Structures are given as C-alpha cells and as structure tokens.
Chains A and B, each alone.
Chain A
Amino acid sequence: MIRRAALLAFALGPIAARADAPPPPAVAEVSIDERLGQAIPLDLPFIAPSGRAVRLGDYFRTGRPVVLALVYDRCSMLCSLLLRHLARSLRDLSWRPGRDYEAITVSVDPTEPHALAAEKQGHYLQAMGDPGDTAAWPFLTGATPAITALTSDLGFRYTYDAETHTYAHGALLFVLTPGGRISRYLYGIDFPSSTLRLAFSEAGAGRFSASVDRILLTCFHYDPASRRYGVYVFGALRAGGAAVFAGLALLVGVLVHRERKKGAA
C-alpha cells in the first residue's frame, strides 16, 4: 500500500505534496479495482502509430498472451520510467513480442496524436533492441469513449489535473489471456523478466504447457500482498519438512514394530 501511494505521488509529481499530508483530491480518486478473469471489450476502435484504424481485438486473434500498459505519451515521469523498465525486461526475455506474446501500449489521453505515439514507440523499440519491428509493440491512441470503456473494464481509475495538464494514475501492467480476459495485474515500475515470463505462461495457459515454466509455476505463486510472483517457499518447505518427518516416523515405526515382533517370537 505504501509502495502504491509512493508511486502515485511520483506519478503526480507537481501535485504531490508532503508524504504525511492527506493525499490531494486527484490522488484520492486514483485506484485499481482488480477484475481478474473479466473479459475486456475487443471491438474498441483505436489508431495504430501508422495512422491506420485498428480494433483492440486485432491483437487478440493470435492465440498469444497480451501485456498491456496504460500510459500517456506526454507523461514525462512515471510512464516513461515504466516503459523504459518494461522495454529492458522485454529485451532480456528470450521470448519476442509478436511471436510469443503481444505487447500493447494504449494512451489514456484522447488528445494525443498518433504521430507522437509513433515517436515514442520508436524510442522504446530502440530500447528493446528491435527498432525496425514497429508491428511488434504497437502504441495505440484513441478517442474518449474507447479509452473510457477500456480503462473502466480494466478497473483502472485515473484522473486528469487540469492545472498541471497531467494524469494521476497507477503504475502497473495488465496481462491478458489470448481470449481477452484479465489474467494478472503486475504492479510497480520494475518488472523482472522472470515475473513477466511466468505471467505470460499463466495467461497463455495451454500454449506453453510443454515448457519448464509450467513446472516453475507450481513452485511460484502470485502473492497478492506483495503483488509479485514469489517462490512458494513456505509451502515447499512445509511439504519437504512433512515428508522428512513422515519418512523418519515411518522408519522408526517399522523398526520398532520389527523389534516387537522379534521380541514376541
């Protein structure tokens, strides 16, 4: 919670006051209503960086899991930080966007032109180490109805501060299944490749079933408190500890039983 508040404060920058002061009204309205498992509307119209009209569902027809970032391209602080980290994590991932999964960025600012989105896209594709592949990670812009429909279905509540011309919003990624259902909310600005990989595996369900990640997923679990994939250490240790204890109890039990039988004979 503290982390989230800190991130929100960071997002607002000029609006944010001292940490111990009550949050400004803009921040109070910013939150995430998790809607895990819910389907998002796939027929929403958006504009691709090239200026071409697309529908959100175009990116969900491939049978691949989708990672979605909600930002706005004029944002100079949190969004760029989040996208920079995301680009780095995607670069480190052995899987490629457009081949193994889909990555989409949608701007929440209806006034932003697609040219600006194209410029930002070029910047982050370069950071990801694949500057030529513009289809790999589309940066979409759109009109208010589409943006509102998408953000409300994702449970992403943000506000606009007219005074500073900034949006107050949370920092997170959405991982969606190939069918357009919400699979995971990954909070923060730093997303380890291992976390992304597991989130994709989980969202991709059967698609990655042959890989080691399915096994890994049984040892890793999503911890709602820390909102990360942690190793299910306690569970694994409990199971291991119980197995060792049961093994020893069985051994001693069998040995005592044998002794008694021998003694009785």
Chain B
Amino acid sequence: MAPSSAAEPRFNRPNYLTAETTIASWLGTRDHKRIAVMYLVLVLTFFFVGGVFALVLRFKLLSPGPFLISAEAYDRMFTLHGVTMVWLFLIPSIPSVFGNFMLPLMIGAQDVAFPRLNLATVYIFVAGAVVALWGMIHGGADTGWTFYTPYSTTTPSDVVPVLLGVFIIGFSTILTGVNFIVTIHTLRSPGMTWMRLPLFVWGLYGTSVIQVLATPVLGMVLLLVFVEHAFHFGIFDPARGGDPVLFEHLFWFYSHPAVYIMILPPMGVVSEVVACFSRKNPFGYKAIAYSSMGIAFVGFLTWGHHLFVSGQSTFDSGTFGILSMLVAIFSAIKVFNWVGTMYKGSVSFRTPLAYVFGFLFLFVFGGMTGVAFATVLLDVPWHDTYFVVAHFHFIMVGASIMGFLAGLHYWFPKMFGRNYPERFGLTAFFLIFLGFLVTFIPQFLLGNMGMPRRYYSYPVRFHPLHVISTVGSWLLALGFLLVLAYLLWSLFWGEEAGPNPWASEGFEWFTPSPPGAQNFDGVPVFTHAPHAYALIEKGEVPSGR
C-alpha cells in the first residue's frame, strides 16, 4: 500500500479521539476505535476490582487461622475474584480492546462489518457486568467461579444475579465473535489474501470461532442452574433426581475452550511483537496461523480432563488426556516459530518484547504443567490443590496478561499517539515478572505438599510458603500500579510518538497515529504480507512506512 507522506505531523490531528468530544459522541459511537477504548477502560476497571479481591485473599492467607475476613467472606471473595477476572477481564480483554481497534486497520477496512452491533456488545457487556456486580454487592456467590452443582443450586448465597450477569456477558462475546468472523471474510481490502493476514488476525479468527461455538453452551448451562436454583427442578441436584456430573461436562465443554479464548489472542499479539522487534518476517507463518486453528479445534475435545476424579471411565480419561496433550503440540509449534523468528534477528529489547519474553517463559512453564495434568496418574493427587491454582495462573496471568501488556505497550502509541517512558516500562515488567514468580511458584510447592485450593485455613507447616506468595502478590500489585501510573501520565504528557515509533511493518501502523476518525482516505491495496522486513531490505517490496 502507499506509504504515508513525509510531511505527516508527529501527532495526527484531528484524530478519532479529538474528532468529536461530547460524551454523547462517545456513548453513541460506531467507530471501532472508540469502542475499543471504551472496552479498554471497562476491562482495566474490572482488572483493578478483581486484583483488589486477589490482594485481600492473599492478605488473609498471611495467617493460617481466622484473620481479617470471615470464612464466608473468603469464599465469596475467591468466587468474585474468579468471576471478575475470567468474564469481565480475561475473555473480553484482547479481542474486545485490541481486536476491535486493530482488526479493521490490519485488513484495510473502514470499520468492522456490523458497527452498530459492535456498540451493542459494549452495552450488553455493561448490562451483564452491572447485574453480576449487583449480585456481588448484594450478597455475593460463594460457589467458586466454576459454579459446581449441587452446591450452586442450593447455596443460600445470592448466586442467581451473578449467573445471570455472566449469561448476559456471553451474548456480548458471541456477537463480537460473529462480527469479527464476518469482518475478516468480507472487509479485506484488495490484495489482502488469507495468507497475507496478520497473525493477530488469525488468532482473532480462531478465537471468534470458539466464542461462537462454545459460549452458547455456557449460556444454556447457566440458565439451567438458574432454573434449578430458582424453581427447584431436578437437573443437576441428585437429591432431586439430577446429575451433578452432567453439569461438570457442560461447564467444561465451554470453559476449557474458554482458556483458548484467553490464550489465542495473546498468541496473536506475541506473533506481531516478535516480528516487529526482531526485524524479521514471522518464521513459519503458515504453521503459526494453522496451529491457531488447530488449537481452536482440539480445544473442543479436551474438556474431560477436568473430570478425571468425577467417576469418568478410565478409557475416557485416557482419551481426554491424550487429546489434551495435542494442544501442547500446537502450542509448541508456535513457541518454536517465535523463537525461530528471533533467531538471527535484529532484536531490540523494548518493553513490549520484554513482556513477550515473560510470556514465553511463563507459557511454557504453565503449558508443561498442563501436560503433566493431562496424565491421569499425576492429576489425581494434584486435583483441587494449589498446584492447579498455580498452573492455571501461569496460563491466565502469566501468559494472557503478559500478552495483554505486550499488546498494550506495543499499541499504546498507535492508540493514543504518545509514548511512555521506556525505563518505567521495563521496571514495571521486572516487578510484575518477579512478583508473579514469587506469588505462584510457592503455590506449586504448596499444592505438591497437599494444600487444597479454596481453603480458608491451613496447617502451620504451609505458613512460610503462603507468606512468600502473599509478598509476591504485593510486588505484582506494585508493578501493575506502576503501569497504570505511567500510562495515565503518558496519555496526557507522554512524548509524541509519531505515526510509527517502532518502525513496524505491521499493517496497522500504516495509518497515522492516532488514526483519524476515517481509517483510510481511499481503499488501500496490499501487495505483500505484513512484517516483510527482509523483502523490504532487499528492495523487493516497498515499505509501508
């Protein structure tokens, strides 16, 4: 596509942020970029709320006995931490924020396929969040984020609004998925063939397929729990003739693929960032793209590994175990290709890449413990211990949030036209990375020693490791607060970044930063794949910059 003109100003004005400034112009906007910013504010708010819950939990665990909060409050707190982090932060985070912002820019579209629907998803999300939050304030559920029956259908706590809230949020997720699928199919500019799609877009496509296929099952199962809780039908409660294992099957049929809703988008971010900061085209482009689809497919066939101790047959458990290990193959393909991309590249260690390194380390660590968990013999003793907690936090926090932060730092200048102080960026990264390890490595050890998850009190021999874990949570919190502080500062007083501060050949950078309200003046034409640094150096294709 045509390079932007040399006379372009450092800070693009007017842009999508300044084109209109009234509150109504924000609340009624159909601009995918503004919708992305609205989502960013929302998910960061919920991340803060969920983080506060986590800090309170960890602070309580400083003492083996009753301390700070009651056991009931503790049960509610870990439920709300899980519900907030999973449904209000992790699932919408990258697709709804960066997906919304970057997807049209990356494929040369003016907007997503259904801009009104896109705005509707924000309001559906907010409505669901309000219902869930009302439930949390009103009494709060104490079932854990998994809502296992029969407890969830008989608990005296106010589980119904939380279930309804999550149910409503599901519609937002499904509609975003449908919107992205249609956008990727129909709004690609001339020359943007499937094999020239940025890898982030491939990640979004795989994610959207899972969102559309899996989320309705969650909707149905939550509705059934609601019906059982409210009207006392015997669906899952054995005392009423129901089947609690049926709930586990249905819940994990959604919730295991949901892990891939959380991990495929950060994988897409990593693919973009690695290529940009290694000055190399992605090594094994097709392998990375197809492995996203592979994970999306195999992810639907692994749910039974959550039911190894729920009376599932040995044959079923073995089959689910092996299928689960297939995910590791697709993930490993990606990891090797990212490393291959960096190999002999001109690597510059900037904040986004630092988070990618964090991602790689924590994702491999979390992934390998996942393979261990897929082995039935190992899973049985570890089941429902802190080992599980540590494992999935390595994936959900370690990998997903590292990916989110990599994206946030990589695209911050794109979204807001300003840069952040690099020194603070790297300092915060080290704090978060270190804080993460100090928080969760002791939890692996605790789980291995037999500490069950979700317990309010614990034997004194676990005390030192719990104290270390809690100290780690403070480091993590400090790191996140630092990020919040310097990004907020940079938003107003940060150095003007110019259109493309990373000299990236990613297609989203070919528009001014921040982009105008209209993404492109004409219809862009693509002649090559993104991040084609080698070809540009050889002069075979023009640079987009």
A residues contacting B by CB (< 8 A) are: 192, 194, 223, 226, 228-231, 233-234, 236-237, 240-241, 244-245, 248, 251-252, 255-256, 258-259
B217 near A237 with CB under 8 A, answer yes
CB distance from A185 to the nearest CB of B (A): 15
The residue from A233, A244, A255 contacting B213, defined by CB atoms under 8 A apart: A244
CB of B242 within 8 Å of the partner chain: yes
CB-CB under 8 A for A226 and B241, given A237-B220, A244-B212, A255-B185: yes
A192 near B216 with CB under 8 A, answer no
A237 nearest in chain B by CB position: B220
Interface residue count for B (Cβ, 8 Å)?
A: 23
CA distance A248 to B233 in the complex (A): 32
Mask, B231-243, CB within 8 Å of A = 1, is 0111100001111
CB of B224 within 8 Å of the partner chain: yes
From residue 184 to 204 of chain B, which have CB atoms closer than 8 A to chain A? 185-186
Q: Which residues of B contact A230 (CB under 8 A)?
A: 234-235, 241-243
CB-CB under 8 A for A248 and B250, given A194-B233, A231-B235, A233-B235: no
13 contacts between A and B (CB under 8 A): A194-B233, A226-B241, A230-B234, A231-B224, A231-B233, A233-B250, A237-B220, A240-B216, A244-B216, A248-B209, A248-B212, A251-B182, A255-B181
Q: Which residues of A contact B224 (CB under 8 A)?
A: 231, 233
The residue from A192, A233, A236 contacting B232, defined by CB atoms under 8 A apart: A192
CB distance from B362 to the nearest CB of A (A): 32
A258 near B186 with CB under 8 A, answer yes
Mask, B268-296, CB within 8 Å of A = 1, is 00000000000000000000000000000
CA distance A255 to B186 in the complex (A): 7
B186 near A233 with CB under 8 A, answer no
A234 near B213 with CB under 8 A, answer no
CB of B71 within 8 Å of the partner chain: no
CB of B62 within 8 Å of the partner chain: no
A233 near B185 with CB under 8 A, answer no
Sample of 9 more A-B contacts, CB < 8 Å, known A192-B234, A230-B234: A228-B234, A230-B241, A230-B242, A240-B217, A241-B216, A244-B216, A245-B213, A255-B182, A258-B185
CA distance A259 to B181 in the complex (A): 13
B209 near A241 with CB under 8 A, answer no
A259 near B212 with CB under 8 A, answer no
Q: Which residues of B contact A241 (CB under 8 A)?
A: 216-217
A234 near B246 with CB under 8 A, answer yes
B185 near A240 with CB under 8 A, answer no
B209 near A259 with CB under 8 A, answer no
Most buried by B among A233, A245, A251: A233
Q: Which residues of B contact A194 (CB under 8 A)?
A: 232-233
CA distance A223 to B243 in the complex (A): 12
